[in-house]
Structures are given as structure tokens and as C-alpha cells.
């Protein structure tokens, strides 16, 4: 049983948007009194991958409020928020699923539900959590209030019913979850709308989608699910509005005629960008960002970039695309101007830029600089650094506005 600790706001004051200051300190403290009354709209969570902890932060004042420890292996951690934005659910690599209260700074509950996990999702009504597992392969469904297990979807395939790693798990409207089977080359749609009442998931299985699907995204309206393929140049597209969904191949041979490079870190499609009439996606094994027509899903443009892109993220107004890169070129961020398709700025914040996160309206973008134990905050309109916070080997950054978005 993980010891429950209540953590209090550890620093006061903060940074102004007018000037950059030295990093503030955050420390663990036992609660002597309840945290101050606040809302959750400007809160966020920063994953500290090396120490199994997260920081709760406030974006308005660029301050760290608390650190929550004891969350397991966070080397590839992700999280989602409850629909009221009060609770964060952390999916750890060691199979741990944790529920954190952002207002009381408390670890509410932690369960270990598998041996190796790769992410999770929350249903559109906020009642269900789904966790995607490598070992054993499949997806587990939980009650988000209690973290009690209510269903298991074993990702069996082939004549021997072997279990596949599951990746690219997202929520879809109507109490559904969609995910891909890495080893089988399949996309499964799980209707879990009756699970809370004791029903079983209803599965739709789309086979032969392509070789080694490694990650996926869902469009903001919940209509299109796109799975990236590691084993070949191309992607698989599913129209979830169709009465009988099928997997359609798109972007076949997008790297044709080019030499594929060794892949040092898999790109993340969940950091996809939609701006105007286009999708912007990382090209596997190439120093390129792909511009894709959002209506026809044909490639419009190829933007040459600094290295192999990991996250390709749009500013909320769609005017800019921010891109970070895989090792060994992971000290750099490039900013693409959408109307011209040109790189307008290159930044070098430090070693190991792992993640970026915009505030809801795009007035800030937070950047994790893992090997320098720091989070930098930029004004994306001037592309200047305005604040910095200390963090222990930070990776993922997640803000509470995600609670109201499909697929995040």
C-alpha cells in the first residue's frame, strides 16, 4: 500500500511575464494545513521521470505548487484528467495507475494493473479509464471513481491467440476506445458504453492495416483515427463515423527515394498538429514534417527539419508548429510558420528536449529540458523565454484544458 502524503504549496511568488528569472525551488513538505482555495483551470502536471514523481504547477504565475512521489516507473508516463479537472490519472510504465487530487495535493490511490504499460485514456463521460499494455498485451478498463477493474480486453491474434502489445489508445465519442495491435497489424474499436453497468466491451476488429503500427491519433472532432506504421512508409486511416468502419491506407511511400535513417526515438502522433486545412505529422526515419490535406488525406508538402521529429505540435490558433527532435539532435526546437511553411525560428534551450505543452489559448508554451533538470516557459508570439522552473529530469507536461478535448 503506497503511503499517502499530502503535499503543500512549496514556494511563493513566481515569475512575471516581463522578465526571465532564475529557477525557483520546489521541495516536498508534509501538510500542516489545507492548500489555499483555488480553481483548476490553470493547473498542470509535470512528469519527473527519473524520480517517480510529478509536480503540480500553476501556469498563470509560473509556479510549482507541490510534488507527489511514489508513482513508480515514469520513464514513459502519460496522464489524463477527470472531466471536472480536479483529478489527474497517471499511467506509469511499470503498469501503475495512480489517481492524484490536484487541489489537496494528495495521492488518492495507486494500483498496479499490468507488467508493462504504454498509456491510457478516459471516456468521454469521464466514468471509465482504459490502460494500454505491452505485457500482458491488451487493454484494461477501470472505474475512474474507485480505480476498480471492470473489464479486460485481451489482444489475442493469430492461430495461437498470441497476445500483442497495444498502442495508440485514444477515447472516442460514445464510450468507445480505439487502439492498435503492434504485433498483429490491427486496429480494434471497443464500445465500452455498457461496461459500468456490467456489460462487456463490444469489439470491432480491423485487420491487415499495415506493418508494425506504433502510435495513433484521433482528430479533434472524434471522426478520424490515424495509425502510424513503423514497418513501412504509410499510415492507416479509419472513419469512425462510418456504419461499418474500415482501415484505409494513406501516404503510401511518403519517404520513397530517400534513405531511411536509424530511428533513435519513436515519434509521437498524439502530439499531432492540425492547423487550418492541414495535418502536420512526423515522418518516421526522416528529417521531415509531413503536411497532409485534412480533407483528402493526401500529402501537400514536405518540410525539411533539423532532425527526426518526435512531437509536432500546433499553437492553439494554428499559426505556428513547434517541433522537437530525437537523440542525438534533441537539444533543438524549430518553429514553423503555417502560412508560408517556413522555419522562422530555431531554439536551443538545452540537452534532451522531451516535451512541449501550450496553454489553452496559446499565450505560453512550456518545454521540458530533461538533462538540465529544468522547465522553460516561452511566449510563442515573440518566441522568447519568460520563466523557468526546476524539475527532476522532466519529461511529459500536461495541462488541465486537456480534460475537455477528445483524444487527449
pLDDT class of 32 with cuts at 50, 70, 90:
very low
Q: Which residues, in sequence order, are bridge partners of residue 116?
A: 135
Q: Which residues, in sequence order, are bridge partners of residue 30?
A: 7
Average pLDDT, integer, range 373-385? 98
Check residue 276 and give its pLDDT.
72
Quick one: 345 exposed, middle or buried, by C-beta within 10 A (0-12, 13-18, 19+)? Answer: middle
Check residue 329 and give its pLDDT.
95
Instruction: State the Cα–Cα distance between residues 201 and 19, nearest whole angstrom.
Output: 52
Residue ranges with strand state E in 182-223: 186-191, 202-206, 213-218
Check residue 231 and give its pLDDT.
83
Check residue 270 and give its pLDDT.
62
Exposure string for 246-259, b = 16+ CB within 10 A, e = fewer: ebeebbeebbeeee
Instruction: State the Cα–Cα distance between residues 98 and 47, nearest whole angstrom.
Output: 13
Check residue 253 and give its pLDDT.
75
| CB atoms inside a 10 Å sphere around CB 94 | 17
pLDDT class of 1 with cuts at 50, 70, 90:
very low
C-alpha cell at 172: 472516442
Kindly report the pTM of this predicted structure.
0.88
Convert the pLDDT of each residue in 3-23 to its tens digit: 333 333 333 333 333 333 334
Q: What is the mean pLDDT of the chain?
A: 88
Under a CB-based contact definition with an 8 Å cutoff, are residues 35 and 9 in contact? yes
Average pLDDT, integer, range 75-80? 93
Convert the pLDDT of each residue in 133-174 to its tens digit: 999 999 999 999 999 999 999 999 999 999 999 999 999 999
- Would you say the C-alpha torsion 139, 140, 142, 144 has a positive or negative sign? negative
Check residue 6 and give its pLDDT.
38
Under a CB-based contact definition with an 8 Å cutoff, are residues 169 and 130 in contact? yes
Q: C-alpha angle with apex 200: 182 to 181, nearest 5 degrees?
A: 5
Check residue 76 and give its pLDDT.
86
Rg from Cα positions in the chain = 20
Instruction: State the Cα–Cα distance between residues 369 and 330, nearest whole angstrom.
Output: 10
CA-wise closest residue to 119 among 399, 406, 396: 396
C-alpha cell at 337: 510558420
What residue segments make up the domains of the chain, in order of their start?
Answer: 113-253
Instruction: State the Cα–Cα distance between residues 63 and 59, nearest whole angstrom.
Output: 7
Instruction: State the Cα–Cα distance between residues 167 and 179, nearest whole angstrom.
Output: 6
Check residue 215 and give its pLDDT.
86
Convert the pLDDT of each residue in 278-333 to its tens digit: 889 888 778 999 998 988 989 889 999 999 999 999 999 999 999 999 999 999 99
Instruction: State the Cα–Cα distance between residues 379 and 306, nearest whole angstrom.
Output: 22
Convert the pLDDT of each residue in 235-270 to its tens digit: 899 999 999 999 999 988 775 546 565 555 556 666
pLDDT class of 381 with cuts at 50, 70, 90:
very high
* The residue count for the chain: 408
C-alpha cell at 221: 472532432
Instruction: State the Cα–Cα distance between residues 234 and 266, nearest whole angstrom.
Output: 15
Check residue 14 and give its pLDDT.
36
Convert the pLDDT of each residue in 322-371 to its tens digit: 999 999 999 999 999 999 999 999 999 999 999 999 999 999 999 999 99
Under a CB-based contact definition with an 8 Å cutoff, are residues 364 and 356 in contact? no
Quick one: 360 exposed, middle or buried, by C-beta within 10 A (0-12, 13-18, 19+)? Answer: middle
Instruction: List the 202-206 sheet strands across, edge first.
Output: 166-172, 176-181, 186-191, 202-206
Under a CB-based contact definition with an 8 Å cutoff, are residues 232 and 253 in contact? no
- Does the domain at 113-253 match CATH 2.130.10.10? Answer given as yes
Q: Which residues, in sequence order, are bridge partners of residue 123?
A: none
Percentage of the chain beyond pLDDT 70 is 87
What 3-state DSSP class applies to 32? coil
Under a CB-based contact definition with an 8 Å cutoff, are residues 376 and 367 in contact? yes
Amino acid at each position: 500500500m503506497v503511503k499517502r502524503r499530502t503535499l503543500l504549496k512549496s514556494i511563493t511568488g513566481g515569475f512575471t511575464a516581463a522578465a526571465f528569472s532564475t529557477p525557483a525551488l520546489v521541495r516536498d513538505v508534509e501538510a500542516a494545513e489545507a492548500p489555499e482555495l483555488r480553481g483548476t483551470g490553470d493547473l498542470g502536471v509535470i512528469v519527473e521521470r527519473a524520480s517517480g514523481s510529478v509536480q503540480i504547477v500553476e501556469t498563470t504565475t509560473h509556479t510549482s505548487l507541490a510534488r507527489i512521489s511514489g508513482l513508480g516507473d515514469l520513464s514513459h508516463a502519460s496522464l489524463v484528467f477527470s472531466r471536472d479537472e480536479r483529478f489527474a490519472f497517471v499511467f506509469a510504465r511499470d503498469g501503475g495507475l495512480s489517481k492524484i487530487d490536484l487541489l489537496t495535493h494528495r495521492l488518492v490511490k495507486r494500483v498496479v494493473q499490468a507488467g508493462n504499460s504504454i498509456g491510457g485514456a478516459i471516456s468521454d463521460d469521464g466514468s471509465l479509464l482504459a490502460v494500454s499494455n505491452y505485457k500482458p498485451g491488451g487493454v484494461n478498463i477501470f472505474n475512474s471513481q474507485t480505480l476498480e477493474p471492470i473489464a479486460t480486453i485481451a489482444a489475442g491474434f493469430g492461430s495461437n491467440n498470441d497476445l500483442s502489445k497495444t498502442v495508440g489508445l485514444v477515447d472516442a465519442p460514445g464510450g468507445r476506445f480505439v487502439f492498435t495491435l503492434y504485433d498483429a497489424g490491427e486496429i480494434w474499436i471497443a464500445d465500452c458504453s455498457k461496461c459500468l453497468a456490467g456489460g462487456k466491451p463490444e469489439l470491432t476488429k480491423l485487420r491487415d492495416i499495415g506493418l508494425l503500427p506504433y502510435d495513433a491519433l484521433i482528430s479533434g472532432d472524434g471522426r478520424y483515427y490515424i495509425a502510424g506504421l513503423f514497418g513501412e512508409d504509410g499510415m492507416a486511416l479509419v472513419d469512425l463515423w462510418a456504419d461499418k468502419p474500415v482501415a484505409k491506407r494513406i501516404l503510401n511511400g511518403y519517404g520513397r527515394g530517400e534513405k531511411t535513417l536509424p530511428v533513435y526515438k519513436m515519434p509521437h502522433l498524439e502530439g499531432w498538429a492540425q492547423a487550418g486545412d492541414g495535418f502536420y505529422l512526423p515522418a518516421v526515419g526522416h528529417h521531415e514534417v509531413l503536411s497532409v490535406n485534412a480533407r483528402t488525406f493526401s500529402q501537400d508538402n514536405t518540410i525539411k527539419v533539423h532532425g527526426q521529429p518526435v512531437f509536432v505540435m500546433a499553437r492553439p490558433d494554428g499559426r505556428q508548429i513547434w517541433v522537437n527532435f530525437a537523440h542525438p539532435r534533441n537539444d533543438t526546437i524549430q518553429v514553423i510558420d503555417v502560412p508560408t511553411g517556413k522555419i522562422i525560428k530555431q531554439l536551443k534551450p538545452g540537452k534532451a528536449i522531451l516535451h512541449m505543452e501550450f496553454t489553452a489559448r496559446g499565450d505560453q508554451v512550456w518545454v521540458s529540458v530533461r538533462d538540465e533538470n529544468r522547465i522553460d516557459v516561452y511566449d510563442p508570439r515573440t518566441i522568447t523565454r519568460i520563466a523557468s522552473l526546476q524539475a527532476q529530469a522532466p519529461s511529459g507536461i500536461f495541462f488541465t484544458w486537456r480534460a475537455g478535448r477528445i483524444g487527449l
